[in-house]
């Protein structure tokens, strides 16, 4: 699975439309204007595309407006105002508790994901050790297994080790689900850095960890940022893991609280 950074050989394109299935990976070139397929669909014009955009925006706009507008049966009966937000702030344990829980789970997931994928990616990209390929494949295999299949035994396992109903348990599980993407991403990031860079650091007397810490971390920063953002978004929005692992109202994350709000809607 190692990705070699060979110089991409751009071959001359076969200019023959009759044999278009000749597949070649070319370097993506930027031609901002006048691509053929674009022209094919450009004709309908502004009205149609504008209406399409409005369909995508309408639910959000409607929600934003009706959250502050006067409606019968809500906490904002007459006049515009923030009555509904005041109710939301005090809903069950209070919205701040849920935001705090979500932040805790998300930040812990990001931290764990960053540390594990940084070290793991370094190991996969720069070292040879027995079982390396098997471990990498096992990590990628997490993608193939459905959420529910893992969460039911994880519920039992976390109960055994005393992490039931705990936000730390949720963060551990979410980190595991992030591993395939983050490990793969960090491995590619490390492999795209020339080996001479860390070899030079080691010649200057760094240990392998010193080379990682002083030289390579600044170089893989873009990869780390991507991995961190993805981990945060996934953890912040995740619904299924907390649904199964958390059953205490005070420890629910925001998506669970949102799902509970369904009872408030007619």
Partner 1 sequence: MTATLHPAAPSAPPAASPDTRRRRRRTHGALAGWLYATPTTLFVLLLFVLPLLLVLQMSASDWPLLSGNQGLNFPENYQDAVSNRFFWDSVVFTLKYTVLTTIILLALSLGLALLVQESSRWKGLLRTSFLIPSALGLASASLLFYVIYSPIAGPFADLMASWGFTFLGTPDGALWSTIFLIVWRYAGFYMLLMLVGLQGISEDVYEAARIDGASRWQTFRDVTLPLLKPTLALTTVLCVTGSLLAFEQFYILTKGGPDNSTITIVQLIYSVAFQGPNNLGVAGALSVIVLLALVVINIAQIRAFGKKVED
Site for partner 1 in 91-110 (CB under 8 A): none
DSSP 127-162: ---TTHHHHHHHHHHGGGS-HHHHHHHHHHHHHHTT
Q: Does 115 bind partner 1 (CB under 8 A)?
A: yes
Residue 189 engages partner 1 in binding (rule: CB under 8 A): no
With binding defined as CB under 8 A, does residue 38 bind partner 1? yes
Closest approach, Cβ 65 to partner 1, in A, equals 10
Of 37-45, 77-85, 89-97, 223-231: span binding partner 1 (CB under 8 A): 37-45
| Choice from 83, 120, 223, 228 touching partner 1 (CB under 8 A) | 120
Neighbours of 29 (CB within 10 A): 6
Please say which residue, 202 or 225, places its beta carbon nearer to partner 1: 202
240 near partner 1, judged by CB under 8 A: yes
Could you tell me how many residues of this chain bind partner 1 (CB under 8 A)? 104
State in angstroms the smallest separation of the CB of 158 from partner 1. 9
> Cβ of residue 148: shortest distance to partner 1, in angstroms?
5
- Choose between 79 and 129: whose C-beta lies nearer to partner 1: 129
Whole-angstrom distance, CA of residue 251 vs CA of residue 97? 8
SS3 110: helix
**Does 200 interact with partner 1 (rule: CB under 8 A)?**
yes
Q: How many residues does the chain have?
A: 266
Where is 167: in which H helix or E strand? helix 167-191
- Give the residue with the Cβ less far from partner 1, 79 or 127: 127
For residue 152, the minimal CB distance to partner 1 (Å) is 5
CA separation for the pair 231, 177 (Å, rounded): 9
The answer to whether residues 246 and 173 touch, using CB atoms and an 8 Å cutoff, is no
Whether the CA torsion 108, 113, 118, 120 is positive or negative: it is positive
Spatial neighbors of 130 by CB under 8 A, at least 6 apart, are: none
When asked if residue 35 is in the footprint of partner 1 (CB under 8 A), the reply is yes
| Token couple for 181 | 């993407």
147 binds partner 1 per the rule CB under 8 A: yes
CB of 80 to partner 1, least distance (A): 17
């Amino acid at each position: 699975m190692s990705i070699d950074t060979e110089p991409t050989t751009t071959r001359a394109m076969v200019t023959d439309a009759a044999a278009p299935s000749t597949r070649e990976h070319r370097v993506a070139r930027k031609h901002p204007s006048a691509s053929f397929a674009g022209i094919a669909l450009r004709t309908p014009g502004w009205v149609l595309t504008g209406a399409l955009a409005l369909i995508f925006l309408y639910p959000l706009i409607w929600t934003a407006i009706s959250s502050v507008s006067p409606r019968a049966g809500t906490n904002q009966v007459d006049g515009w105002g923030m009555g509904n937000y005041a109710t939301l702030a005090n809903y069950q344990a209070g919205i701040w508790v849920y935001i705090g829980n979500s932040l805790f789970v998300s930040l812990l997931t990001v931290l764990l994901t960053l540390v594990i994928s940084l070290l793991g990616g370094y190991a996969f990209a720069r070292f040879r050790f027995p079982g390396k390929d098997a471990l990498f494949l096992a990590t990628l295999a997490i993608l193939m297994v459905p959420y529910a299949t893992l969460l039911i035994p994880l519920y039992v396992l976390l109960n055994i080790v005393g992490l039931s109903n705990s936000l730390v348990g949720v963060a551990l599980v979410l980190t595991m689900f992030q591993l395939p993407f983050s490990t793969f991403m960090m491995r590619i990031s490390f492999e795209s850095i020339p080996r001479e860079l860390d070899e030079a650091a080691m010649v200057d007397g760094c240990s392998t960890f010193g080379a990682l810490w002083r030289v390579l971390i600044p170089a893989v920063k873009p990869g780390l940022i991507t991995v961190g953002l993805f981990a945060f978004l996934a953890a912040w929005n995740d619904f299924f893991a907390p649904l199964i692992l958390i059953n205490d109202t005070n420890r629910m994350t925001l998506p669970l609280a949102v799902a509970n709000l369904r009872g408030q809607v007619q």
